Chains A and B, each alone.
Chain A
Amino acid sequence: MPIRKIITFLAALSLAVTTALPAFAAGDVTLLNVSYDPTRELYQDVNTAFAQHWQKKTGQKVTVKQSHGGSGKQARAVIDGLDADVVTLALAYDIDAIADKGLIKPGWQKELPHNSSPYTSTIVFLVRKGNPKKIKNWDDLVKPGVSVITPNPKTSGGARWNYLAAWAFAKHQPGGNDTKAREFVQRLYKNVPVLDSGARGSTNTFVQRGLGDVLLAWENEAFLAINELGPDKFEIVTPSESILAEPPITIVDKVVDKKGTRKVAEEYLKFLYSDEGQKIAAKHYYRPTSKKVATKLAKVKLYTIDQVFGGWRSAQKTHFADGGVFDQITGATK
């Protein structure tokens, strides 16, 4: 190929590149919502509705971009410079980690109602159609011959909720205490054949690879899996008791102040608490916090993390830190 042709080709290429870069119209505003894995469908709907709401209110066009991944990984990315205007993560501990770096004001969780969680969720069981192993409650999971699929609590936010839900159940049984709960959880993890690194990985293991008798999953994940993959293959079992999972939301102060997007970001979070936002959450199988919005989800007795574990920081330190209870019990099962 003669040199001239190569140069013409490169010039054409660079022209294509520059024209391909998006042009930003003046006055439009873009928000970035950094979230965890299973919320994609939820926020797609929320973002469309919010764009209409904001345009009606101010005449300004807003685009909300989404980024999803494991909750801990996403927090890490924000700490390392991902310019999130708002974070909507799986658990408060991950937002605390961002706050510890000075990007979010301390005391963020008191800024919005219900511990800054506009919707809640819980942990339920997904079993194969007909429930061949007759799994009804947490104590069925530790029976011999039952294979349980749950991700690794070291890396997955959802997995930590699973673990803590099992612990809370055992502790609240007649005669239950922390020692009994520890034994219970240890027996449960003996029944786990594989620890995936994230919630979606575990769902794929259970659904696609056909491993295990029961999948511990976010309630909304379980419904999504059934809707996407066929109600003829799986069914949901809601245990008598579970944990109240509060996925919190907040503004990343340092980013919004720099970008000048505080107002619209605050409105975005408030929108999640509005009737419209709550309805969208309910539609995606989250439990709305507003009493005005109906939910079709089954009633469950729910324990909070503050009640049973004294908050996320303490739960993290006791159970999931290196050398913590999870390491001890899984080390013992090996």
Chain B
Amino acid sequence: MPAPTTTYTRKTPGGRRITEPALVRWGLTAIALAFLALFLALPLAAVFSQAFEKGFAVYLAAIREPDTLSSVKLTLITAAVAVPLNLVFGVMASWAIAKFSFPGKNLLITLIDLPFSVSPVISGLIYVLIFGRQGWLGPFLEAHDIRIVFAVPGIILATIFVTFPFIARELIPLMESQGKDEEEAALVLGASGLQTFFRVTFPNIKWGIIYGVILCNARAMGEFGAVSVVSGHIRGSTNTVPLHVEILYNEYNYTAAFAVASLLAFLALVTLMIKTIAEWKVREQLE
């Protein structure tokens, strides 16, 4: 959500203007910046400096290694399936929640938030418990030769679960704050439900959607815990980029580990940039 613009000056109930002393203002800003530098900028710089420690050629070779390329491919496939599915779900759920009232609405909101409150390891384990060989559906899947866990479908399922709330959580407050006047007007003028959605609701929330998609995508590509549980760690077939980074690091292959990690860091930077633009546009849409 966009934060309200900060002002240093405010009025007391009596109407007298007070201003924080300059020292306090600059001091607080300096502390915040130092904190950011220490916890964000420094690690980011470390990732890139380690990645390029042995030169650009070594960096490129690390990225072009077949196992690395396959992990990048798997990560892209996973995000390409998980994000659109969560987009469709997220938009439908937030539309239903923000524009209609129905019994069980609060339960639905709680369920959408569930993946936020569950540890990713548990999110992975539930799929092993359901689809694993010893799991509920294990014998059925085995009889029909369907593989879910320790294969690509399991990785995608776990990723969908973990990234489930991102888009809905972004859209619900936005749509609620926009109210339903415009939709009601459209319906009164004779628009159908779908027309109302695509002509009226969608243009109002498109930047919110982009904001949600970008966050969802970042998490889908970066998820470690849940994916690690269902992956099986088969080199060249079920390792995603974050898993591959850990493996490279554990193999004393520090330069390659940081080179691959720099891909994720780069993704984070791009995400941040698009997110800032989207945030800005969302604010415009609200006004």
Contact = CB atoms under 8 A, between A and B. Distances in A.
B252 A225 contact: yes
A190 interface: no
Interface string B116-139: 000000000000100111110010
Nearest to B235: A66
A68 interface: yes
Contact of B150 (A13, A77, A225): A77
Interface string A95-108: 00000010100000
A158 to B, nearest CB: 13
Given A81-B131, A81-B133, A82-B150, A200 B250 contact: yes
B81 interface: yes
Interface residues of B, number: 33
A16 interface: yes
B73 A20 contact: yes
A65 B235 contact: yes
Given A10-B84, A20-B73, A83 B150 contact: yes
B77 A101 contact: no
A232 interface: no
Contact of B134 (A32, A66, A68, A80): A80
Given A16-B80, A17-B77, A67-B233, A1 B252 contact: no
Interface in A16-39: 16-17, 20-21, 32, 37
Nearest to B233: A67
Contact of A13 (B80, B135, B138, B251): B80
Nearest to B152: A21
B147 A81 contact: yes
Nearest to B67: A66
Interface in A164-200: 200
A90 to B, nearest CB: 15
B27 interface: no
B232 interface: yes
Nearest to B77: A17
A69 interface: yes
Given A3-B198, A101-B134, A14 B80 contact: yes
B18 to A, nearest CB: 46
A116 to B, nearest CB: 23
Interface string B73-89: 10011001100100000
B80 A80 contact: no
A13 B217 CA distance: 14
Contact of B252 (A17, A37, A80, A229): A229
B133 A80 contact: yes
Contacts of B76: 20
B232 A82 contact: yes
Interface in B124-162: 128, 131-135, 138, 142, 145, 147, 149-150
Given A17-B77, A65-B237, A81 B250 contact: no
Contacts of A82: 149-150, 232, 234
Contacts of A200: 250
A37 B250 contact: yes
B233 A68 contact: yes
Q: Give the interface centre of A21, A66, A81 by most chain B CB atoms within 10 Å.
A: A81
B206 interface: yes
Interface string B213-228: 0000000000000000
A306 interface: no
Contacts of A204: 250
A170 B76 CA distance: 54
B234 A80 contact: no
Contacts of B81: 17
Contacts of A79: 133-134
A200 B133 CA distance: 29
Given A10-B84, A69-B233, A80 B128 contact: yes
Contacts of A10: 84
Nearest to A22: B237
A321 B205 CA distance: 57
Nearest to A225: B252
A40 interface: yes
Nearest to B83: A13
Interface of A: 1, 3, 10, 13-14, 16-17, 20-21, 32, 37, 40, 65-69, 77, 79-83, 101, 103, 200-201, 204, 224-225, 228-229, 258
8 contacts: A17-B81, A21-B77, A65-B234, A67-B232, A67-B233, A80-B150, A81-B147, A200-B250
Interface of B: 73, 76-77, 80-81, 84, 128, 131-135, 138, 142, 145, 147, 149-150, 198, 202, 206, 210, 232-238, 247, 250-252
Given A67-B232, A258-B145, 16 more contacts: A13-B84, A20-B73, A65-B235, A66-B234, A66-B235, A68-B233, A80-B128, A80-B132, A80-B134, A80-B150, A81-B133, A81-B135, A81-B138, A81-B147, A82-B232, A200-B250
Report, nearest first, the 10 A-B pairs whose CB atoms are least far apart: A81-B133, A80-B132, A228-B252, A82-B150, A82-B232, A200-B250, A67-B234, A81-B132, A67-B233, A66-B235
